[in-house]
Structure 1
C-alpha cells in the first residue's frame, strides 16, 4: 500500500493500549535525558488524546515515510561502539530509538501534543527489542515505525507491546497490559 491520501482515508476507531502499572524507564531514555536535559526537564501535564482526522492521519503517514526514507538504519554498536545509545540520528543514520526521537520532535514542532506522542518499547516480529512511536488519539493508539512505512493501529503491527512513556510525564514509564491485544480483541488463530 502506498502513501495515505486524505480523500481516500476513513479513520476507523482502534482500541487503545491497556496500561496496567508503573515500569522502569529504559537506560537509553535515562542516558538521553542526561545528555539532553532540556528535552526531559518538563512539567507533568494532563493526559490528552490527539484528534485524529483523515488529514491528521495523512500528516502522520507523510512524516513517518519521510523520516524512514531520510535515515539509514545503523546499530548503536556500529555508530558509537556501544550497545545502547539514544540520540537523534547522526549523519542521517540511527537505530529505532533515533527514528522515534526524531519523529516525536518533529510532531511536537508541528503542534501535536507531547502527551500523545509516546516512546514505546516492543518486541518485534523476530522477538527482538525495538521501539516505535505511539500516537494516542481519540480513535485509538497508532504506531509510527521505522520497520514499516504504513501508520497503523498498534495491534495491527504484530508486535508485543512492553512499556511506554506515561502520558502525564514522559520521564515516567508504564507497563502495558498483556502486550499483545487490546481488551476485547481476540488473538488471531
Structure 2
C-alpha cells in the first residue's frame, strides 16, 4: 500500500468520523429508514478477475476466514453513516477509467492520486466502513448492469431492513431495487472470496470473470 493511499484513507476516515467533510443539505438532514427487500441468491458464481488480482496485491484484505452471515440492524443513524461515507468518497475521488490511469482494461485497487473507477470507489467505501466497525459479512462488492446496460460495481449493505446500495453514480444510498440496475452477482456473505449469482443476473457484464 502506498503512503499516498494511507494518507488518503486516513484523511477520509478522519473526516467521516469527525464530521469534517462538508455535506450537501440533503445529506445533513435526518435520514429515514424505509423497508427494503433482500436480494435473491440463486447459486454460486465465478469471482471477477479483478477480485483475484486485487487479492494478490492486497493479500491481507482477502485472508479472512468464512464467518456467519450478518444483517446490520439499520437505524436512522446507521443509514446516515452510510450516506456520509458514500458522499465523502464520491466527493474525494474523481472517476477515471483503468485504461486512462494504468493503461490496462481492468485493475481493482484502492484509489490513488484521488482517482479511480467504480470498483476502486467500492473498495475504499468497504474498507472505510470495516474500519468504522461495520461487519465485513454485510459489506458486499456487487456486479451490476447500470442504466446504460454497462458493467458496473456497487457496494451493497445487508441489513435487517433489506439490502442497500452505495454507488459512485448516485449521492443517495438507496434500496437496491430502487437503483434501476440489473444485479448480477456479489460476494458471499459467509466468505468474501466466494461469489454468488443473484436472482436477476443475466450473464457477463464487462467485468472480467475468472476462467
Q: Cα distance, 1:10 vs. partner? A: 2.6
- Count of residues in correspondence between the two structures: 178
Match of 2:53 among 31, 38, 48: 31
Bigger strand fraction: 1
**Paired residue for 2:69?**
47
Structure 1: gaps (5+ residues)? 181-189
Q: Cα distance, 1:178 vs. partner? A: 1.8
User: Separation in 2 of the partners of 1:4 and 1:64?
Assistant: 13
Length-normalised TM-score, structure 2:
0.82
**Paired residue for 1:175?**
197
Match of 2:168 among 117, 131, 146: 146
Q: Cα distance, 1:4 vs. partner? A: 5.2
**Paired residue for 2:26?**
2
User: Separation in 2 of the partners of 1:103 and 1:167?
Assistant: 17
Q: How do 1:1-189 and structure 2 match up within 5 A? A: 2-3=26-27, 5-6=29-30, 9-179=31-201
Local SS of the residue matching 2:84 = helix
Q: Cα distance, 1:179 vs. partner? A: 4.2
Residue deviations 1:121-163 (CA, integer Å, cap 9, x gap): 0000000000000000000000000000000000100000000
Length-normalised TM-score, structure 1:
0.92
Local SS of the residue matching 2:173 = strand
> Displaced runs of 4+ in structure 1, greater than 2 A?
none
1:96–1:131 CA contact under 8 A, matched in 2:
yes
Local SS of the residue matching 1:2 = helix
Q: Cα distance, 1:110 vs. partner? A: 0.3
Bigger helix fraction: 2
User: Separation in 1 of the partners of 2:201 and 2:81?
Assistant: 27
Residue deviations 1:64-112 (CA, integer Å, cap 9, x gap): 0000000000000001100000000010100000000000000000000
User: Separation in 1 of the partners of 2:178 and 2:28?
Assistant: 16
Task: Assess, with a 3 A threshold, how the Cα gap between structure 1 residues 19 and 4 changes in structure 2: closer, same or farther.
Answer: farther
User: Separation in 2 of the partners of 1:96 and 1:27?
Assistant: 15
User: Separation in 2 of the partners of 1:58 and 1:41?
Assistant: 30
User: Separation in 2 of the partners of 1:13 and 1:4?
Assistant: 21
User: Separation in 2 of the partners of 1:83 and 1:10?
Assistant: 39
